[in-house]
Amino acid sequence: MTRRLIYAANWKMNHGPAEALAFAERFLQLTSPVEDRDLWFCPPAVAIRVVAEALRLRPDVRVGAQNVHWEPKGAFTGELSISMVMEAGARVVLVGHSERRHLFGETDEQVARKTVTALATGITPLVCVGETSAERESGRTESVIQRQVEAVLARVGPSDWSRVVLAYEPVWAIGTGKNATPDDAAQVHELIRFQLAQRGVAIRVPILYGGSVSLANVLSLLARPELDGVLVGGASLDPDRWAELVGLGG
Ligand code: PGA
């Protein structure tokens, strides 16, 4: 069976509606759908609709939100519900990105709640896990990843995992230009798969790698069969570079 690769762009706090539309139009000129390859775009929430509309005729594209609240509505100033981002055109949501965890204090428990609500509402959660450099250096990579995955396992039953996508994103690799080696990434992916299998998850859950993925390293990373795709920040911000990157691998 050929692997279905996911190339997910996380634009973070870049590209408002006008820039996002210009990006989408340029991207359409440069690419056409490729079999066995899905392209996900996570613009800032205010640009979800414009990107979803611009790319609506592309069957290989899914648009996503970068964050949501777990409650369906209420007095949560500044937050967005899943049904709101879905109404704007999102079909995917990043959950527990390391910037949410480390800069905004998101906990394992909140990540699990968001994942549960995403599944119940019918949007695909892309759940991110990853260790900091201090955790890696003190030999705690395995226990940190296991704790983060376990928090989701505790709330999401084995059959629901067919609708979950994971991303391994070591915190020290994000935005630093220092990617995990293909071997290191593959090892953590295997660790996660083993943990899922031990807890009765029989499905092969796609696991993406993220952290300084670029044109220079994407081929060597995706050469490892343990990786089902990539989650890309900096190298996804320019349409020409991104179009080139999504053409590599597989
Ligand atoms: P980066 O970001 O590719 O700029 O390292 C990845 C991410 O944060 O998802």
* 159-205 per-position pLDDT tens digit: 899 999 999 999 999 999 999 999 999 999 999 999 999 999 988 99
Q: Is 169 a catalytic residue?
A: yes
If you measure from the C-alpha of residue 74 to the centroid of ligand 1, how many angstroms do you get, rounded to a whole number? Answer: 31
If you measure from the C-alpha of residue 200 to the centroid of ligand 1, how many angstroms do you get, rounded to a whole number? Answer: 31
* Average pLDDT over the chain, rounded to an integer: 96
Nearest CA to ligand 1 atom 2: 233
Nearest CA to ligand 1 atom 7: 233
Nearest to 66 by CA among 148, 8, 147: 8
182 alpha-carbon distance from chain centroid: 18
Contact 128, 98 (CB under 8 A): yes
Q: Is 189 a catalytic residue?
A: no
Active-site residue among 135, 169, 189, 226?
Answer: 169
If you measure from the C-alpha of residue 75 to the centroid of ligand 1, how many angstroms do you get, rounded to a whole number? Answer: 31
If you measure from the C-alpha of residue 85 to the centroid of ligand 1, how many angstroms do you get, rounded to a whole number? Answer: 22
How much is the pTM?
Answer: 0.96
Q: Which residue ranges have their beta carbon within 6 Å of ligand 1? A: 10, 169, 174-175, 210-213, 231-235
* 8-49 per-position pLDDT tens digit: 999 999 999 999 999 999 999 999 999 889 999 999 999 999
Would you state the torsion angle of the CA atoms of residues 175, 123, 84, 54, taken in this order, to the nearest 10 degrees? 70
